[in-house]
Amino acid sequence: METIELKKMTRELCHELYKDWNNDESIYMDMSLFKTFSYSEASVNRYFDLKNESSRIMFVIMLGDRPIGELQLKQIDWEKAECTLSIHMQNDTVKGKGFGTQAELKAVKYAFDELGMIAINADAIIKNTRSQHVLEKVGFKLVREDGDFKYYRIER
Ligand SMILES: CC(C)(COP(=O)(O)OP(=O)(O)OC[C@H]1O[C@@H](n2cnc3c(N)ncnc32)[C@H](O)[C@@H]1OP(=O)(O)O)[C@@H](O)C(=O)NCCC(=O)NCCS
């Protein structure tokens, strides 16, 4: 099986990642908001700058030297030692091959072992059963559900 690595996101890798990016319909609750992604250098620069903040670590999922997805540990609360995980693979060619599962497992380990977190939260909209399945496979437990979202949590 091919193995991925998590690297800290850089501006350069962010551009490389987003040049071949497609938004996935499964994260849109309201499909009227869905837009096909189109790359622009300026918007990726803006995005990278916006996400570069102290309560967030942006990782790029690397398959060899190729960026194939983005994983974030965000809303990092150092006092509570909790954060929230989000993930999105680059496009359909890299989904369903086990890479998302590998990336989440590595991110959970990093959050617990390197950041000293005691809990990680995640959520997925109800229709996103693939994401829910992967979260559960990695060890997240369903803690709550409302009309729109399922909320998950894993504790050290
Ligand atoms: C969700 C995501 C990160 C998962 O990564 P991935 O690399 O595609 O997932 P994997 O290949 O590691 O695992 C997919 C698993 O889901 C299962 N699966 C596939 N489609 C499914 C579906 N519609 N419902 C339930 N399970 C499904 C697969 O069988 C596999 O499980 P298995 O290993 O037990 O057989 C990726 O698909 C993605 O980026 N999706 C779009 C963005 C997104 O949904 N992000 C999460 C927002 S909460």
Euclidean distance between CA atoms 100 and 155, whole angstroms = 20
Instruction: Band the pLDDT of 5: cuts 50, 70, 90.
Output: very high
| 153 contacts 108 by C-beta, under 8 angstroms | no
CA-to-CA separations, 25 to 31, 36, 45, 85, 123, in angstroms, rounded: 7, 9, 24, 19, 16
pLDDT exceeds 90 at position 97: yes
Cβ neighbours of residue 3 under 8 Å, at least 6 residues apart?
A: 102
Task: Please report the atom of ligand 1 found closest to the CA of residue 102.
Answer: 12
User: In the numeric block, which tokens belong to residue 108?
Assistant: 């959970």
Task: Please report the atom of ligand 1 found closest to the CA of residue 99.
Answer: 7
**Residue 90, ligand 1, Cβ within 6 A:** no
**Residue 139, ligand 1, Cβ within 6 A:** no
Task: Please report the atom of ligand 1 found closest to the CA of residue 122.
Answer: 48
**Sequence letter at residue 137:** K
Other beta carbons within 10 Å of 126: 13
Q: Which residue has the CA at smallest separation from atom 18 of ligand 1?
A: 130
Probe target for ligand 1 pocket from 134, 136, 145, 148, with the most ligand atoms within 8 Å of CB: 134
pLDDT at res. 32: 87
pLDDT at res. 58: 98
Report the length, in residues, of the chain: 156
Write the class of the CATH domain 5-155.
alpha beta
**Residue 126, ligand 1, Cβ within 6 A:** no
Euclidean distance between CA atoms 87 and 9, whole angstroms = 13
DSSP structural state of residue 1:
-
Probe target for ligand 1 pocket from 88, 133, 136, 140, with the most ligand atoms within 8 Å of CB: 133
Instruction: Band the pLDDT of 1: cuts 50, 70, 90.
Output: confident
All structural domains of the chain with their residue ranges = 5-155
DSSP class per residue in 19-86? HT----GGG-SSGGG-------HHHHHHHHHHH-STT-EEEEEEETTEEEEEEEEEEEETTTTEEEEE
Q: Summarize pLDDT for 109-150 with one digit per residue, the tens.
A: 999 999 999 999 999 999 999 999 999 999 999 999 998 999
Q: Summarize pLDDT for 20-60 with one digit per residue, the tens.
A: 999 999 999 988 899 899 999 999 999 999 999 999 999 99
Euclidean distance between CA atoms 111 and 33, whole angstroms = 32
**Residue 68, ligand 1, Cβ within 6 A:** no
Q: What is the pTM of this model?
A: 0.97
